[in-house]
Structure 1
Amino acid sequence: MANIVNYIQDTYHELAHKVSWPTWTELQNNTIIVVIGSVIFSLLIFVMDFIFGINPSTYFWKGVLGLIYP
C-alpha cells in the first residue's frame, strides 16, 4: 500500500513541478492550428469521396460507399 501512495505522490510532484505547461496564448494558437488542419483534411477527404463517388452512367453522386455497396 505504501508503494501506491508513493507512486501517487511522485506523480503529483512530477505534474505540478517538473512538467512545463503551455501558456494560454500558446494553447490557443495550437488549437487554431489543429482546427484549421482538421478542416483542410476533412475537405480533402470530401473532395476525394466526391470525385470517386460519381456514377458515370447517371452522373449522380453516391459517395465511396455507393461504389462499394451498389
Structure 2
Amino acid sequence: MFKKFVNYCKTCYDELAHKTTWPSYAELNHSAVIVLSASLVVAAVVFAMDSLFKWAMSMVYPG
C-alpha cells in the first residue's frame, strides 16, 4: 500500500516537473486581467438587476 502511494507521488512530481507546460508571465497576466474584467462585468450586471428588482418591489409594496 505504501509503495503504491510513493509511486503515485513520484508520478505526480514527474508530471508537474517535466510534462506540464506552464504559462509565461505575460500569458498569466493577460488571463488575470480577463478574469478580473469579467468578474467586474458580472458584478455590475448583478448590481443593476438587484437595483431594478428593489425599485420594482418598492412600487408594488410602497412604504
Q: How does the TM-score come out when normalised to structure 2?
A: 0.87
Identical columns (%): 34
Instruction: Tell me how far apart the structure 1 counterparts of residues 4 and 52 of structure 2 sit (CA, whole Å).
Output: 59
* Structure 1 unmatched runs, 5+: 59-70
Equivalent position of 1:42 in the other structure: 43
The structure whose RCO (Cα within 8 Å, separation 6+) is larger is: 1
The count of corresponding residues between Structure 1 and Structure 2 is: 58
Q: CA deviation at 1:22?
A: 0.5
Moved over 2 A (4+): none
Alignment RMSD (CA, Å): 0.9
- Gaps of at least 5 residues in structure 2 are none
Q: Give the number of the structure whose residues are more often strand, by fraction.
A: 1
Give the number of the structure whose residues are more often helix, by fraction.
2
Match of 1:32 in 2: 33
